[in-house]
Structure 1
Amino acid sequence: MTVPSWRIHGLSVEGYRHRRQGLPCQDACGWVVTSAVAVLAVADGAGSRPRSEEGSRLAVKLAAEHFARRAGAAVEVQPGEAVHELLRDALQDVSDDFLDRTGSDAPDFATTLTVVVLAPGWLGHLTVGDGFVVARAGTEDGERQFHLLPQAAAVSEYSNETVFLTSPDAARWTHTECLSDDGIDGVLLSTDGLAQAMLNRSASGAQSPNTSFADAVFRSLDTAPDDADGKLAALLRSDRLTALNADDKTLLRAVRTSRG
């Protein structure tokens, strides 16, 4: 099966709180494209931990390495439980490597991690913590359709509590997903700093994508704009988004440029 081509672009910027305090961005994003798969990852370092900025960068680096290696070695795997197992095994590789590198200070590097693997015939998705993924697939009445992929269960009733890669029971709260839909032609990963802008919440608490925002974000990459970093940074630091959430913000997006 031929590997589809993807145009990928992403950026993490410091939120208003960190700019005001002179602190660095504690979010990170990264990706890798091999001859077999593309792997995208975003991470949100715990604001209360002294080395979470380093932790988020390390998490996305290790995710790109280990998920690409696992998925590349099993590129012929069929959608289903085998993909879930592959994702869990890759996360274990990341966790082991992360802990080996950080040692007894690992809690100081606490970070969430969200990963998407784009492989021929399937999309794999894994979340540790409160990151989220939106996929673009199909049309209805001529309008593009956007889908919020299932998220990990909330660790508690309090919205400011989440699970980190270094949490002792992280595996219990990790969510994996496997989609086999050739209609998926765009995917977006984000940390929780964009949740208010990107997601709508119904009276029952159910979440769904903000279609106008998602459509604009994907379309800007479809057209491959000049100065993509500058334009995305301006959006993420805009007064409109800052008014919704003053946290660090990450947006990593991929659009398909060929069907393979």
Structure 2
Amino acid sequence: MIVAGAVVQGTGHLAAGRGCQDAFKAADLGGAVVLAVADGAGSRERSALGAHLAVDAACRVLAEGVPAAEDAPEVWTAWAAAGGARLVAEYLGAAQAVLGATAGATAGEAADVGALAATVAAAVVRPPWVAVVSVGDCFGTVLTRQAGAAERCHLVMPPPAPGGPGPVFLSSPGAALQVRTFVVWEPELSGVVLATDGCAALSLDHPEVHGLPPEAGPVPATRFFCGLAATLRANGGDAEPLRALLSGPAAARTGDDLTVLCAVLDGW
């Protein structure tokens, strides 16, 4: 399995003098891999730290007790649901510990985990299984391929619909009740890609592009996801083309930080 990721500071953040508030991390479990991306809230001063706490917590929690490839679907779905709740609890504990340990922090500041607000999406890839856990507006795509056919991409964890309520953060009240999970057994699995919401304009098409009604929601762009997978297979996982893609003119439209992390099966 080829794992590669890149994070690029958004043009809007550069113009405003703000640092990058995205983070990503992967953990190789031997036969399985955990992927995690996080997006810190732009309005919170310590959200970059919150994003790093989020991916650390995701890789730590979701590396524990991963079901076997031969386990039943109900085992995987129960494990993913429990893992989402544990992820929120682990993040909150880490955030409270960090803020409480900050030199000069008052009691009120130490309790304000909202200062570290971040969203997160994480995936455990153990072919043919994929389990995705998300809090907030990061999103996930699964790639599949039949022998002799073109690769396809499927948006399995979409970002929230535009015009809805603001994003839920790991530090939001009741976040554990708003965890989204998705589990799939896919014998034609060829890759998994996670991205922060800044990548939506670059990697998701409006449904009208594919002749679909607006209510169908965003559609993953084949040119982005399948092109990326093909490039990584060809170069053995060099992330530089991915970094260049996230730094190109099309990516500049968003102004937000952009992060992509993927695991690509190299047997195709």
**TM-score normalised according to structure 1 size:** 0.87
Q: CA deviation at 1:225?
A: 5.5
8 Å CA contact 2:22–2:38 kept in 1: the answer is yes
Question: Between the two proteins, what is the percent identity of the paired residues?
Answer: 29
Distance 1:257 1:231, change over 3 A: closer
1:54-133 matched pairs, under 5 angstroms? 54-71=49-66, 74-75=67-68, 78-103=71-96, 104-133=111-140
1:189 corresponds to: 194
Structure 1 gap ranges (5+): 1-5
- Output one character per residue of 1:42-73: Cα deviation in whole Å (capped at 9) or x when no partner: 111111111110011111011111101131xx
Q: CA deviation at 1:219?
A: 1.1
**TM-score normalised according to structure 2 size:** 0.84
Q: Secondary structure at the match of 1:69?
A: coil
2:107 corresponds to: none
8 Å CA contact 1:190–1:252 kept in 2: the answer is yes
| More displaced stretch, 209-218 vs 134-143 | 134-143
| More displaced stretch, 20-29 vs 135-144 | 135-144
1:89-238 matched pairs, under 5 angstroms? 89-103=82-96, 104-139=111-146, 142-151=149-158, 158=163, 161-202=166-207, 203-205=213-215, 206-224=217-235, 228-238=238-248
8 Å CA contact 1:79–1:180 kept in 2: the answer is no
Q: CA deviation at 1:10?
A: 0.3
The runs of at least 4 aligned residues of structure 1 exceeding 4 Å deviation read none
Count of residue pairs the alignment pairs up: 248
Counterpart CA distance in 2 for 1:252 and 1:105 is 30
Counterpart CA distance in 2 for 1:145 and 1:97 is 35
8 Å CA contact 2:3–2:264 kept in 1: the answer is yes
Distance 1:110 1:137, change over 3 A: same
- Output one character per residue of 1:201-230: Cα deviation in whole Å (capped at 9) or x when no partner: 22423221111122211111111258x343
Q: CA deviation at 1:172?
A: 3.0
Q: Say if 2:258 is the partner of 1:249.
A: yes
Counterpart CA distance in 2 for 1:44 and 1:101 is 17
Matched residue type, 1:201: H
Counterpart CA distance in 2 for 1:70 and 1:222 is 29
Q: CA deviation at 1:21?
A: 2.3
